[in-house]
Amino acid sequence: MFTCDPPVAPSDATRPLLPGPGPPARVTMTAAAAAVSGRPLTMSRKRLQQLVDALGHSTKHFNKGEVECLIKLFDKLVAESSSRFAAAGFDRNMFRDILHSAFGMTDEMIMDRVFRTFDRDNNSCISVVEWVEGLSVFLRGTMEEKIKYCFEVYDLNGDGYISREEMFQMLKNCLLKQPSEEDPDEGIKDLVDIAMKKMDYDHDGKLSFKDFEKAVRDETLLLEAFGPCLPDIKSRMAFEQKTFRESS
């Protein structure tokens, strides 16, 4: 069951350019990164304040208090783990545990993709900045941000298109196996056809970002068409309540 890598190996050089982070985020990221570098486990009051200020500007969906809560949560989780990355942030496994326990996500491949989407600088470690900015979209993103985010998750090889094969990969565990079926993949292929027919507006046999965006604007349900990659309302509210109330 454990599928960690998509069939087409992603190369770091071909990170998706399309839905990349906007320019203001870039600026503050460097500023915040300065504050992070060489950060000890317990941050000094002043540094924390700097980080909060920096992130408070870059993420428009959280206020300063909330940013502070998220940073504290990050520190707490990092401190609890004994991973070798602990000083810098979450590694893949830690992050997957968080996604599973806090947001009830189960699909290994999707969780892996969420990790990669959060991990903007591709160093296989999610820093505090990536954590806060990622959650900003994850929890409170606008429709536009969410469409970008989901497309990025589903575009397994990061080439800017969701191909038939990628769809097949994502949907292959969708159906209850029926013993009567001789070729179990047949049903999945049909499902891919159905999805393609529904969303491929320009009939080029793959989904571009434009196709995906149009399909979602048309029918919001298709936002998470290839697997749940956003928290549902209940776990989202539970998470926010727990995180923001606990420490404020």
Partner 1 sequence: MGAALARAAQWTAAGSGTGTLEITPLNESLLNQIIKFVEDFSARHPREAAFVFKEPLEWKTQLDCSAFGNGYEITEATVQSEAKAKDGQSLLLLTKSTLRVRSFDQLSHVLQIAMEKKLKEVQACLEANRDPIVQILGPEYGTVEGEDRSILHLLEKVKKGGDPETEVKMKIFLLLHQLDLQLLNSSLKQISQDVRLNPAAVNNEVNLLKNFSEEGEDTVLESLEYTSDYVFSNGCRAPPWRQVHGEICYLVINPHDTDPLCITCSTAGVFLNGGQIDGKDHIDYERKSDVYKDIVTFLRERSPKFVENMAKQEYRFFKEPTYAKNFQRMGVVEAKVSGQSQSLHDFVEKKVGEKVKSSASRRAIEKKKLEPSMRWKNAGLSVLHRKKHITAKAARKDAEEDRRRSSTVSPKIKKKGNGISSESAKIQPASKRKTSARFNNVSESSSETEEDEEQPVRHHEGGTDLPSEYWGIQKLAKYLKGGNPTATVIALCSMKDFNLAQETCQMAIRDIGCLEVLINLLDTEEIKCQIGSLKILKEISQNTLIRHAIADLGGLEIMVKILDSLDRELKCLAAETIANVARFKRAQRTVRQHGGIKRLVGLLGCDAVGSTSLTPYQAKDTEMARCGALALWSCSKSTKNKEAIRKAGGIPLLARWLKCSHANILTPVVGTLQECASTPSYRLAIKTEGMIEYLVKNLSSEHEELQMHCASAIFKCAEDKETRDLVRQHGGLQPLSVLLANSENKQLLAAVTGAIWKCAISEENVAKFREYKVIETLVGLLTDQPEEVLVNIVGALGECCQESVNRSTIRRCGGIPPLVKLLTGTNQALLVNVTKTVGACATEPETMIIIDRLDGVRLLWSLLKNPNPDIQASAAWAICPCIDNAKDAGEMVRSFVGGLELVVNLLKSKNKEVLASVCGAITNIAKDEENLAVITDHGVVPLLSKLANTNNDKLRRHLAEAISNCCMWGRNRVAFGESNAVAPLVRYLRSNDPSVHRATAQALYQLSEDPNNCITMHENGVVKLLLPMVGSTDETLQEAAAGCIANIRRLALATEKAKYG
Binding site for partner 1 (CB under 8 A): 1, 106-108, 171, 173-176, 178, 180, 182, 186-187, 190-191, 194-195, 197-198, 219, 221-222, 224-228, 232-234, 237
CB of 138 to partner 1, least distance (A): 17
The type of residue at 166 is E
Planar angle of CA 138, 140, 143, nearest 5 degrees: 90
CB of 37 to partner 1, least distance (A): 37
CB of 174 to partner 1, least distance (A): 4
Phi and psi angles of residue 206, each rounded to the nearest 5 degrees, phi first: -150, 160
Nearer to partner 1, 107 or 133 (CB): 107
Tokens encoding 42:
């317990």
The type of residue at 3 is T
Tokens encoding 9:
């190996």
Nearer to partner 1, 11 or 106 (CB): 106
Query: Do residues 98 and 134 make contact, with C-beta atoms less than 8 angstroms apart?
Result: no
Distances (CA, A) of 72 to 5, 79, 222, 236: 31, 10, 34, 18
CB of 102 to partner 1, least distance (A): 15
Nearer to partner 1, 21 or 187 (CB): 187
CB of 82 to partner 1, least distance (A): 23
Angle 164-171/184-199 helices, nearest 10 degrees?
120
Distances (CA, A) of 27 to 22, 23, 33, 57, 177: 9, 7, 10, 10, 49
Nearer to partner 1, 73 or 109 (CB): 109
CB of 36 to partner 1, least distance (A): 34
Strand partners, 72: none
Nearer to partner 1, 51 or 114 (CB): 114
Q: Distance between CA 32 and CA 40 in Å, rounded?
A: 15
Nearer to partner 1, 90 or 154 (CB): 154
